[in-house]
Amino acid sequence: MKRFLAFCFLTFALLLLITSCTPNVNSSSDGNIIVASKDFTEQDILGEFLAQQIEATTNLKVSRRPRLGGSFVCHNAITTGKIDAYIEYTGTAFTGILKQKAVNDPKEVYERLKQAYSQQFKLEVMPSLGFENTFAMIVRGDDAKRYNIQTLSEATQYTPQWRGGFGYEFLEREDGFPGLAKTYNLRFAKSPQIMDLGLIYRALIQKQVDMVAGNSTDGQISRLGLVVLKDDKHYFPPYETVPIIRQEILKKYPELKTAIASLAGKISADEMRQLNYLVEGELRDVKDVVQEFRKSKGLK
C-alpha cells in the first residue's frame, strides 16, 4: 500500500512538473505573438517575413510555429486562439474555408473574404503582400521570345503544333484544363500527357512537351529560364497572399496592424520565385534569406 501511495505521489509530482514546463500554446502571453505557417517552403519564407517585420517594428516577441499544417489546420488553430497570425491565399480561403463558388475578380474575392472572416471568425484579413500563387501555364523562355508571346491568348495560335504536359488533377478538375481549354479554345497536337508534377519542368526543358501547368511562384521557373504566360482572360481564381490575424490581438496590440499593413505590395511573383529558389535550390537558411530581402526593400 505504501508503495502504491508513493507511486501515485511521484506520478502526480511528475505531471505537475511537466505541466509547469510546457509552454502555453493556446493563447499569446503578454508581449508574445504566435505566427504560424503552412507546410511548404514558400510558407516558411512568408511566415518568417511576417515574424521579422513584427519583431523589427514593435516591442513584441514572436513565437514561430513553422509547418503547422495545411489551410484547415491553420484556420482551426487561429480560430481557437492557438496561433495569432499566418499567411493565407484568398482563393483557398474563399472556396476551401468559406465553401463559396470560385470568383475570378480579385477585388471581389478580397472584400467578401474580409467581411466574412470578420463576421464569422473575428479575424482580420490584411492587404495582399503583392503576389498570388496560382495555377500557371508555363513555356520555355526561348519559345516565348521566338513567338513573341506573353499571354495565353497569344499562345493559342501556336498550341495546335505543341504538346502539353499536365498533372492528373489539373487534367481532371473542371477548374483545371477542361475549363481552361473552353475559355481559350486551347488545342494541342495530341491529347496532353499525364505527368508527375516532379517531372514536368524537366520534360519541358528536354523538349518532350512544350507547355506545362505549374504553380506561379515555383522557384524552378526563374532558375530554368521559363516563362509564365499571363492569364489574360482571368480564368484561374485569384490566390493573393494575405496575412490573417486575430482581431482580439489587434485590439490588445494596435501597433501590430501598422506593422503588418506596411508589408502590403512588398513581394512580387518574380521575387517570390527567387526567394523560393534560394531556399530550395541553393539550400539557404530561411531567416538569412528573409533578412537580406527585407534589407533590399528598405524595411526597418
Find cell 530561411 and name the residue: 286
What pLDDT digit, counting tens, does each position of 165-218 carry? 999 888 887 678 999 999 999 999 999 999 987 789 999 999 999 999 998 999
What is the DSSP secondary structure assignment for residue 46, as one 8-state letter? Answer: H
State percent of the chain over pLDDT 90: 79
pLDDT at 52 over 90: yes
Radius of gyration of the chain (CA): 23
CA separation for the pair 243, 239 (Å, rounded): 13
Helix locations, 71-209, DSSP H: 71-79, 90-92, 106-121, 141-147, 152-155, 168-172, 177-184, 200-205
Residue 154 confidence (pLDDT) above 90: yes
Distances in whole angstroms, Cα of residue 154 to Cα of each of 144, 179, 181, 263: 10, 18, 14, 34
> Tell me, what's the pLDDT at 194?
94
Q: How many CB atoms lie within 10 A of CB 222?
A: 17
Give the torsion sign (CA, 209, 211, 212, 216): positive
Identify the structural domains of the chain with CATH numbers, from first to last. 23-132+238-296 (3.40.190.10), 135-229 (3.40.190.120)
- Examine the pLDDT at 7 and tell me if it is beyond 60: no
Residue 25 predicted with pLDDT over 90:
no
Nearest one of 242, 232, 234, 249 to 112, comparing CA atoms: 242
C-alpha–C-alpha distance, residues 288 and 46, integer Å: 13
CB contact at 8 A, 133 and 241: yes
Write out pLDDT tens, residues 124-142: 999 999 999 998 999 999 9
Q: What is the pTM of this model?
A: 0.81
